[in-house]
Structure 1
Amino acid sequence: MTKAVKPDAEQPYFDAPAHIPGGSDHQIPHSHRLVYRDYDVIVHLTGYEYETFGETLWAVGAEVVKELEIVVLVSVDQAQHYRSYDEAMAHGTALGKRLVDGLTGVRQTSEQSLAAARGKTNQTNGRIHSMNDNNAVVRHDESQQRYVLEVDGKELGVASYQDESDRQVFTHTEVDPSLEGQGMGSKLVREALDGARRRGKRIVPMCEFVAAYVKKHHDWDDIIAAQ
């Protein structure tokens, strides 16, 4: 195993998630250690300052340590950022505790444990599921003008839009907190954007999450409509 590092604040512990807009003026890394169920949880936060916005956006990650050995690598919340340090710390603490609960509450095979350490599993009804398999799908609910993320048949995310002639205006994206740090928000938005392209639509990213995603990923530059 990899030896755990001290929770200092010299360098960010993870790359900027997809939902963080580029071009920040300054990055503020911070880490905090807490004890939960005899495990050390290290919450990693990185604040991204934007002078033009006049605000700081906080991204969140967490890892689990036992007797100075890392047992769960840094899992980053890929679905949401936060506008205050206290809010980010609260969500980071909750993320770290969920990682510990996954270790202590479910008996895992060695392969599942490796997947969990990479932040790519989801616990549902007492089972561990890899997000690399077919348990997570995105379907288009055209009648309700939304794309729905389903895990094991349960609706756990939605990207809502409004059709305006040849334009598809994304208005809201939401993913269940249980999927934090697993890239499911990015999966939902990516497939929703692909769906808009297949329908011959130009996209208008009014939703903050979608706007941040397309700003960092340029595969859809050709179908972004002028607002």
Structure 2
Amino acid sequence: MTGAFMEPHVMDRPERSRYEILAGEDGTETAGFAEYHLSEGEIAFIHTEIDPRFAGQGLGSLLARDALDDARARGLLVLPYCPFIRGWIGKHPEYADLVPEARRARFGL
């Protein structure tokens, strides 16, 4: 199909320890990622990056939401060491329950 535009979508890439957001005309270009460290029952978000060519399109927010929704679905506790993920949770308090209560103050949540 020519001229088709794929909606951006997020995929977990466990072999790379990161969620990737794919965008672009054919939906196969890696527009950004959120690196994580997975340990028993917890997912620690370390670093999030969006390619400058895709900046300002809301992809960081979509990446954060989908990664956190996946963590919730998997029953994982979230440790937002990454400033972007931490800031996103701060703006979306309905996700704060993913962060262990005893550690929220440490993350400013």
What TM bracket, shorter-length normalisation?
0.7 to 0.9
In structure 2, the residue matched to 1:139 is: 11
- CA distance in structure 2 between the aligned counterparts of 1:143 and 1:182, rounded to whole angstroms: 27
In structure 2, the residue matched to 1:183 is: 58
Deviation at 1:180, TM superposition (A): 1.4
TM-score (norm 2): 0.81
- CA distance in structure 2 between the aligned counterparts of 1:184 and 1:191, rounded to whole angstroms: 10
2:48 to 165, 173, 177: 173
SS in 2 for 1:219: helix
- CA distance in structure 2 between the aligned counterparts of 1:128 and 1:144, rounded to whole angstroms: 29
**Structure 1: runs of 5+ lacking an equivalent:** 1-126
Instruction: Please tell me the residue identity of whatever aligns with 1:144.
Output: R
List 4+ stretches of structure 1 deviating above 4 A: none
- CA distance in structure 2 between the aligned counterparts of 1:180 and 1:144, rounded to whole angstroms: 23
1:155 to 14, 26, 30: 30
- CA distance in structure 2 between the aligned counterparts of 1:191 and 1:221, rounded to whole angstroms: 15
The two structures, once aligned, show a CA RMSD in angstroms of 1.7
- CA distance in structure 2 between the aligned counterparts of 1:200 and 1:224, rounded to whole angstroms: 11
Q: Which has the higher strand share?
A: 1
Deviation at 1:158, TM superposition (A): 0.4
Deviation at 1:143, TM superposition (A): 2.1
Deviation at 1:128, TM superposition (A): 9.4
Deviation at 1:135, TM superposition (A): 2.8
Q: Work out the percentage of aligned pairs sharing the same amino acid.
A: 33
Aligned length: 97
In structure 2, the residue matched to 1:217 is: 92
Deviation at 1:148, TM superposition (A): 0.5
Instruction: Please tell me the residue identity of whatever aligns with 1:192.
Output: A
- CA distance in structure 2 between the aligned counterparts of 1:135 and 1:211, rounded to whole angstroms: 25
Q: Which has the higher contact order (CA 8 A, sep 6+)?
A: 2
- CA distance in structure 1 between the aligned counterparts of 2:43 and 2:7, rounded to whole angstroms: 27
- CA distance in structure 2 between the aligned counterparts of 1:208 and 1:220, rounded to whole angstroms: 15
